[in-house]
Amino acid sequence: MKKNWPLWEVFVRSKNGLEHRHFGSLHAPDADMALKNARDVYTRRSEGVSIWVVESKNIKASNPDENGEMFEPAADKAYRHPTFYELPDDIEHM
């Protein structure tokens, strides 16, 4: 039985101080090779200072069909945002 190289997701930190961001994916036989391939594929133009790789199958993703229950309940909680609260115009440092 033939086994193909699995798919990996690549996350790159562009410079210190920034978060790792999803850059794309690639194929590799193992984590070490995935890291090396990621360096060669995604940082050819000095795009990064740190790389994470994770095998795609290990990512648990939310289901868009459940987006209603997942994300909509947050929409009407206006009191979580500073603009919800009324203050006099001339107040400072707040």
Partner 1 sequence: MENMKEKEQMKSLEDIFEAKIARDEKIEPKDWMPEKYRKTHIRQISQHAHSEIVGMLPEGNWITRAPSLRRKVALLAKVQDEAGHGLYLYSACETLGISREELYHQLHSGKAKYSSIFNYPTLTWADIGAIGWLVDGAAIINQVPLCSTSFGPYARAMVRVCKEESFHQRQGYEIMMTLCNGTQEQKDMAQDALNRWWWPSLMMLGPTDDESTHTEQSMKWKLKRKTNDELRQQFIDQTVPQADILGLKVPDEDLKYNNETGHYDFGEIDWEEFWQVVKGHGMCNKERISARKNAWDKGEWVRDAAIAYADKQTEKEVKEAV
Partner 2 sequence: MTNENLIQYIYGIADNSLILGQRISELCGHGPTLETDIAMTNMALDLLGQTRSYYQYVAELSSKDITEDDVAFLRTEREYKNVLLVEQPNTDFAYIIVRQYFFDVFHFMLLKELENSKNVNFQAIAKKSLKEVSYHKRFSGDWLKRLGDGTEESKQKAQKAVDDLWVYTDELFHMTDHDKKVAEAGYGVDVTIFKTAYYETITALLKEATLNIPDVKYFQKGGKNGIHTEHMGFILSDMQYMQRTYPDMKW
Which partner in partner 2, partner 1, none is near 87 (CB below 5 to 8 A by kind)? none
Phi first, then psi, for residue 62 (nearest 5°) are -70, 155
What is the three-class DSSP state of 11?
Answer: strand
Nearer to partner 2 by Cβ, of 3 and 93: the residue is 3
CB of 64 to partner 1, least distance (A): 5
Touching partner 1, residues 30-89 (CB under 8 A) = 30, 33, 41, 44-45, 61, 63-65
Return the beta strands (E) in 28-83 as ranges.
50-55
